[in-house]
Structure 1
């Protein structure tokens, strides 16, 4: 039993013709051309696809394999999109957004999306901060001594406690922003566009995507390596040198 068609992405017509790809539920991937657009799809075997790791990776794999095969200009569709008829696609997407789709194809032609995620060890960074900032270390140590030993009759007012905490927090924020700014200033000039997304974990300090020329990835990765060397020992960098351009394929009505 099938549940209509599962859609992966849109290419300029004629789109992929000779691909031998396996989509979700081991279904063969096919191409449907409507007007100036070619849509990659497979038969849907489920009424609703759960956003499991396996399904998400399967969706992305189809798009990435098509792009690696030479069909580089792609508008990826959101995961889990199924339809019953092609008329739905024409009426709800291709016709009302025809001009926007053409503009996106122009923007994405010859481009690829890469992503950079930065992680640090906040405890280790705080320890380094204290080692480098004698004045701040002295305030912190004085506060800690009073917390552990009240016999000397000394006490800190609440505003002093808050002030010390705020000073440490600001110093940590400044260190974080120095790192982030170094990446921005180095990488942004190499990209046509960039998007900064929300950080996903407490240890993640930067999460960005860049739209770069397809053949400029080698130069881009060299700058990533140079930044890694610049902040050696302080960061873990997760760099994805190729993905479907989800961050740069937003339709405007």
Structure 2
């Protein structure tokens, strides 16, 4: 017995035709036109979906598979959205937000989201920084095997921290210089871990991805082995399909 409708995303009508996709709970993915919007959905077998890795990836895969089949203009919906029926969709989403939904479709037409995440090894970067700065290295070395005042210890520690932060900002600015001019919009997201120094999403023209990817590879070579870069060249535009952005 179903628990309602699980919604994945919205396309401009008429939307995808003849998709053969499998959604959550191994349910077939279907389309439903409501007003001038086409919803991608499957029958919900649960009232509430746990945000597990498996479910999250399943949600994203449905959207990406639909886009890969040529249906590119898509507003992805947040994970776990279950509604009772299509009347509820009309009353809660379309009627109050129709104008903004239309504006989002216009903004996303002919565009795609890509993402860049940058990680570094803090200790390795610190050692490299000290090798390049003998004066700072001498100060750091003075912390070892000597009795220093608390004020001096704090001062040296703060200087090391500032220098490391400056190196981080220099790397981030280098990526901004190379990549931001290819994007209509850039969203800089929260960092994922202590090793993460940059996490950004870019809204770029569909046909600019090859150029964008080449620039990411060039930056990877430029920084040699200092960075670990994760480049996602195909994803639903979650960062740019938000009603509060229009």
**What range describes the TM-score normalised by the shorter chain of this pair?**
over 0.9
1:12 and 2:12 correspond: yes
Residue segments in structure 1 that go unaligned for 5+ positions in a row: 147-154
Counterparts of 1:185 and 1:129, CA distance in 2: 22
Residue segments in structure 2 that go unaligned for 5+ positions in a row: none
Counterparts of 2:241 and 2:123, CA distance in 1: 38
Structure 2 residue aligned with 1:232, among 215, 224, 233? 224
- Which residue is 1:209 aligned to? 201
Deviation of 1:156 (Å):
2.1
1:199 and 2:191 correspond: yes
Q: Structure 1, residues 35-92: CA drift from partner, whole Å, max 9, x if none?
A: 1100000000112110111111110010001001111000000000001111111111
Aligned positions of 1:87-236 closer than 5 A: 87-146=87-146, 155-236=147-228
1:42 and 2:34 correspond: no
Counterparts of 2:39 and 2:228, CA distance in 1: 38
Counterparts of 1:186 and 1:107, CA distance in 2: 23
Task: State the 4+ residue runs in structure 1 displaced beyond 2 angstroms.
Answer: none
Counterparts of 2:20 and 2:140, CA distance in 1: 63
Deviation of 1:21 (Å):
0.7
Counterparts of 1:226 and 1:29, CA distance in 2: 39
Deviation of 1:18 (Å):
1.1
3-state SS of paired residue (2:45): coil
Counterparts of 2:89 and 2:50, CA distance in 1: 22
- Which residue is 1:150 aligned to? none
**Higher-Rg member (1/2):** 1
Counterparts of 2:58 and 2:180, CA distance in 1: 31
What's the TM-score once normalised by structure 1's chain length? 0.95
Counterparts of 1:114 and 1:190, CA distance in 2: 11
Count residues in correspondence.
245
Q: Structure 1, residues 161-184: CA drift from partner, whole Å, max 9, x if none?
A: 111001100010011110000001
Q: Structure 1, residues 114-166: CA drift from partner, whole Å, max 9, x if none?
A: 000000011111111111101111111112120xxxxxxxx422211111001
Counterparts of 2:45 and 2:150, CA distance in 1: 62
1:249 and 2:241 correspond: yes
- Which residue is 1:149 aligned to? none
Counterparts of 1:134 and 1:9, CA distance in 2: 56
